[in-house]
Each structure stands twice: as C-alpha cells, then as structure tokens.
A and B are shown apart, each in its own frame.
Chain A
C-alpha cells in the first residue's frame, strides 16, 4: 500500500481514489447480486427417488483453518483430513461403543492390564505396503513421543509392552488399567512408520484411508484422490476430495452458497441465519459436544488464586445470551463441560452456574474486591471476538473491567500449550465427548498434571486417576465422574459457557458424510447426487 502511494501532482490521484471507493461499493453490490443469482441456480431440488449412491465426482470442503502437519498427531483446529487419509483401530458408535475398523476384534481381560487385538488383513498403505502389527506398535510409540504433542499421550504411555502373534494379531500390555483405552484407538491414526518425518512436514501423507494424498498447498488446502486399493470394496464413491481454506467466514459461507464447495464444519454461529435461508444447503448438528467454549482462568494471577473470585466470574456470565447472540443458538448453554451424550452429564450440573450478577458481586465483595482489572485473551476471529465481547460486557456489569487481547489462533494455541496465558482467556476445548477421564488426563485446559490454568489439587489428581484407571461406567464410575464435575464447578479454573457439537453445513446434493468423535471426517460412504 505504501509503495503505490499516489502523487499529489497527478490528476489520476483523485480519479484513482474515487474509482477505488466507488468500485469497492459497486463490487460489493455486484458480489452480493452474484451470490444470490448463483444460489438461486443451486437451489434445484434433488430428483425424487435419487438416493442410490453414485460413483464419481469431486467433493470440495471449505475449511476455516489450514491443515497443520506439525499437529498431525494432536487434536488441532482442523482434523478432518485425518479420517480421509488414515484409519484408526476402532470407531465409536453414537453410544460410545467401539466398532471394528483396522482392528476387527479384541479381547480385553477383566484386570484391564492387556488387550489383544486381531487386525484386519488385506489392508495396504497408499504406497502398496501391507498393514501389519508393527504399524500399530509404531502408532502407539509415536504418540508416546512428547514431540508429537498428542493429547492422549498419557493413555498411550500406559502401554508398555507389545507382543506380536504373527502379522495381524498383537497384545498390548498396560502398566495399569485405563478407562479410556478405546478413546486412544479412536484418536490414534495409523500412519506409515517409514515416512512419518515427511508426514509432519506435509510432504507425504501415507495412510490406509479411503483417499490418497496428492499435495498440500500451504494457505490453499489439500488435494486428495480416491484410494483404489481401499480395503472396503467399492468405497469410496467419490473420485477426489479437495479441502480449500477460506479464512474469512464470509468467504467460506459464500463458497457454500455459490456451490464452489459442498461441505463445511466451520460456519460460525453468526452466519447460520444466512445458511438457513439458503434452500440448497442443509444443516446437521452433531450433538457430540466435540467443542465447548469456556473462560480459562490463570490461577497463579492474583486475585484469581481466590476460588470465590473465579466463582464470581462463573456467576456473572450470561450463557443463554451468549448462545443466542454469538453462536446463533447452536449449542447447549452449560456450566459443565459435558455434552448430553456423556455419562458424566447431569442437568443439575449443567445449570450449576446461572446468570446471577448480584451473586457475583456478593462473592467479589466477600473476597474483598469491588472492582478488578484483568486482561482476557481471545482468538481474533469475528466469532470468537463476539464471544469475548459478550463475556467482557457481562464481567463489566459486576465490576470486573476486562481488556481484550485479540490474538491470532496459532499463537493462542501455543500459549495454551505452553501455559503462558494471561489472567483470563476464552477459547474452545474438546475431549468431553468421549470417556470423561480423557478430558482430565488429556485436554490441555483440564489436565490434572499440567493444565493451562496452573491449577493443582491433590483431590482432583486422585479422583481423576481413579476414574482413569478404573474401567467402570457403572454406578461407582458415575460417582467418580460426578466428583470430577463437582471439583471443576467448585474450583472454576475452567468456566464452561456453551457445549457445542460439530455443525455440518452441506449441499443438498451430498449424502453419507459422518464424523468420528475427534472430528475426523468419514467420507467412505459419501456421494454426490
């Protein structure tokens, strides 16, 4: 911009500036008109009875964040491609019961100290190499490596012994029983052990999944093509999948409305009204609770080391207003992290903190504070800014003056992992959608051993470890989950706001899409009509 600074002595100056301003307005108008026209042409009804899967076609997925190869083995903001290029050992159904994928059956003794897996035969990596038990051993050891920053490293590290029984059967020995072993199997992608260095650099992604890697163009997206050697006969139906980055929410929604892309999971709540008014698009709400918005509290910053102050913040926030205004009504206002599908969910705990500014003020007074001044970090996207502004306003009403610190999402993630957050922050967390102990041993904000809030409690650690090492979803197990939730609510080092599932926006022409519990896309059965 500075380079093309206009000279005052040129008559073009005025014209150029006026043209720029005029053209900007005109283009905006034309753009809108163009969108509407294209959307209208997209709105043709699907032919009646045309429900039979069709082979062929390219599916374009609009993504808000680019693929980050360095986070291939971690849960990142964008994990769709993991399910396209790779397989996992098992896959949860809607009731968290593991179903076979690359593991066809398993024997899990009652003592919980080992599991024997029978692996699928006839599976090959994209380069033709057959899948064997050695690949499973590598996958577990890979997640044990701290460099991979895998949130389920604690669970992977509980596996300390491997016994191969041929190429397609092995036993994993555990130091102690772990309740979330199948979370690990749902999360852990099976990658080619010979090319893992290329994989984390984004050069070569060699898996056993339904699509093969063609190229990754940083900032643009990923190109994948059909894996003709896929172990599921006749699958996938699609010839190719293209993931395209649309950093701006408006561009992302426009690409869906104009038919440039047919699928996205990154449409912000603010744009849902626009999507709803587009007949060619349909919205599917996966109420898995794969993400939850929260306010994090750094408990080492005074006066946030005082539980009463943290609880005051929890009472001050109007979750229902935030859900309606900033998230378009998609989600579940909740003081606890759990979605309805979780065994830890109870209605009483969901509504433990309601919007009660008077109570918040009273708590602050009891802690000796009438007003406070605190920074709050948030991701500088329009959706997250709206949430931060809503929280800021609610806290201002009880005397907490919050200064917002907009930060780019990658930096926010780094600060979260490195425990260098300011007094307050607002982001979203995952891991409440699977086994309840996974949240407390794996998610950065909740990790009992090392969390972003720097909260330490012997009771929390003990109860989390009990829940983690006791595979039991019966009454005793549920009592432990209840105890974990009570500690989370009472200590309020993470203040949950809204539990949100994945909201899928797809073209009416697209069928057969699904996600696993960790937001990895499953397009084996997807097809375009």
Chain B
C-alpha cells in the first residue's frame, strides 16, 4: 500500500511592502511615520486649542498653564499649531505626490506608445527638471499666487518627470525580455502588452520612489512655507511655524524645536521605509 503525501506547495514570496516589516529599518521607519501621522490625524483630540486663536499673552515657554509647548509671539498655542501643521503637511503631500506619480506614469506610458510622443515627453521632462524645485515654486506662485493648491501643483509638477523617467526606464528594460517577445508573437495587442504585462513588472521600483518623493515633498513644502510662498497664513504648516520661530531662535529655541523634530522624524522615517523597500525589491 502506498500512501499519497501531497507535495508541499512552495510558499509564495511575501510582497516587499509586507516583507519590509520584518526588517529593523522598516519597523523604525513605519513607527516614525505612523507616530507623526497619528499625531496629525488625531490633532483635534490631542489639543483643545484653535491653532489660529491669538491672545494677549505673547511668547510663553514650555509648560505654561494650558500650553504644554508654550505659545508664539501672537499668543497662539504651539502644540496645536504643530499638530495641525502636521495635518496640513500630510494632506498636501498625500495629495501632491500621488498626483505627480499618476501624471508621470501616464506620460511614461504615452512615451512608450509612440517614438514621437517619447521625444515630446522627454523634452518636457527636461524642461521641468531644468528648474530647481524652489525656482519652480516661485514661478508657479508668481502666476497662481500663494495658497494650498499652488503648493500641491508645485510638488506634483516636480514629481511628474521623476516618476515618468523611472517608469520609462523600467518599460525599456522589460521590453527586451523574452516574455514580452513571446506575448508579442502570441498576438497580444500593443496596449494589452504594455498595460497588462510590462507595466506591472516595470512599476515595482516606483513604490520605493514614492517613499522617496514623500520625503522630498516634505522638504519642498517646508521650504516654500519658510520663504512665505506656501500655504496662506495663519493656517499652520511645519514650514511656516518654523519660519515664525526664526527670530526667537536664540532666546526661545523651543518655538523652533517642535517643527524641527517633527520634520526630522518624518524625513528619517520615510527614508528608512524607502531604504527597506529598496532592499526587499532588490533581494
């Protein structure tokens, strides 16, 4: 009598975005980003102050009654400005980076579809990349004026060529692979080949790029608000809270400490996540 023992199926590899949780980089990165994001999302629960409400108190140090982080020169609660600033920043980059990614990918697909389109898209990318991020920001602000939407536009515009170039390079690599040739010989249409077969394989590195772009977006928003061309005051953002703290850096460094720590944690967390993802994908 023979006993049938079913063969153990080989375990499917975990997707990289889950595998990264097994690494210390991934865990720390996620913890930092999660902590900052939770602070922003739970802002209304964590503070009872309106971030724009002023008082006659002027600058108060940390530990002042009712103001754990103190107040700024207009008597506004610093904790609430910091927490709501995180909310604003997350909202901005959460909208702008995906927008830039989607538009960049669409441009890359268009470029892959026809050589003429490729030439046009590449030159447009060159044009956008020729302007450093802040110059691009000043150009957009000069036309559209300051505000929430122009900041989203600037970040998205800066990210379009980054994602576009990345995806285009991936498509070119995949096009030379045997499975593409086989599919083409098998009669698969150009569109189906591109969207169904090439795109999923070429898009994987974009996950890492997405995390990196979030980091860059934090810097770009911060720089714009710091220079006074970002979100309109008095709405707090990490950049404008930091900018308002600058005159008091020597005598009241606590005003600047909050946004500095948060920006550092957010950037470090996103960078660690990107690095962990990168390692998992390359494995």
Contacts and interface: CB of A to CB of B under 8 A. Distances in A.
B68 interface: no
A28 B260 contact: yes
B251 A1 contact: no
Contacts of B277: 8
Contact of B75 (A5, A325, A405): A325
Nearest to B145: A405
A14 B275 contact: yes
A151 interface: no
Given A14-B274, A390-B54, A406 B233 contact: yes
B215 A17 contact: yes
Chain B interface size range: 35 or more
Contacts of A390: 54, 74
Contacts of B238: none
B73 A13 contact: no
A25 B249 CA distance: 13
A351 to B, nearest CB: 18
Contact of A403 (B232, B264, B272, B278): B232
B274 A386 contact: no
B129 A8 contact: no
Chain A interface size range: 35 or more
Given A274-B247, A393-B234, A406-B228, A2 B131 contact: yes
Contacts of B162: 2, 5
Given A32-B249, A389-B233, A8 B278 contact: yes
- Residue of B128, B162, B234 with highest tally of chain A CB at under 10 A: B234
B260 to A, nearest CB: 7
- Residue of A8, A273, A326 with highest tally of chain B CB at under 10 A: A8
B209 A8 contact: yes
B271 A270 contact: no
B247 A326 contact: no
Interface stretch (B1-9, B37-45, B107-115, B132-140): B132-140
- Residue of A2, A5, A321 with highest tally of chain B CB at under 10 A: A2
Given A8-B205, A18-B268, A406 B74 contact: no
Contacts of A35: 250
A250 B247 contact: yes
Interface in A1-24: 1-3, 5-6, 8-9, 11, 13-14, 17-18, 21-22
Given A13-B271, A392-B234, A406-B233, A2 B146 contact: no
Given A2-B129, A5-B162, A326-B74, A17 B267 contact: yes
B73 A386 contact: yes
Nearest to A383: B247
B282 interface: yes
Interface in B35-91: 52-54, 56, 58, 73-75
B132 A3 contact: yes
Interface of B is mostly: helix
A325 B278 contact: no
Contacts of B146: 380, 405-406
Interface string A275-304: 001000000000000000000000000000
B220 interface: yes
Given A17-B215, A389-B233, A406-B233, A2 B274 contact: no
Contacts of A388: 233
Contacts of B132: 1-3
A115 interface: no
A2 B136 contact: yes
A482 B253 CA distance: 47
Contact of B274 (A8, A248, A274): A8
Interface string A377-411: 00011100110111011000000000111100000
20 contacts: A2-B129, A2-B162, A8-B205, A8-B274, A13-B274, A14-B274, A14-B275, A21-B271, A22-B264, A25-B260, A248-B246, A249-B246, A277-B251, A324-B56, A325-B73, A326-B73, A386-B244, A389-B234, A390-B74, A405-B232
Given A8-B277, A406-B232, 20 more contacts: A2-B136, A6-B212, A8-B205, A8-B211, A8-B212, A8-B278, A17-B267, A32-B249, A248-B246, A250-B247, A250-B249, A270-B248, A271-B247, A273-B248, A325-B73, A326-B73, A380-B146, A393-B53, A404-B232, A404-B233
Interface of B: 52-54, 56, 58, 73-75, 128-134, 136, 145-146, 158, 161-162, 166, 205, 208-209, 211-212, 215-216, 219-220, 228-229, 232-234, 243-244, 246-251, 253, 260, 263-264, 267-268, 271-272, 274-275, 277-278, 282
Q: State the 9 A-B residue pairs at the shortest beta-carbon distance, nearest first.
A: A1-B133, A8-B208, A380-B228, A14-B275, A270-B247, A17-B271, A393-B54, A2-B158, A271-B247
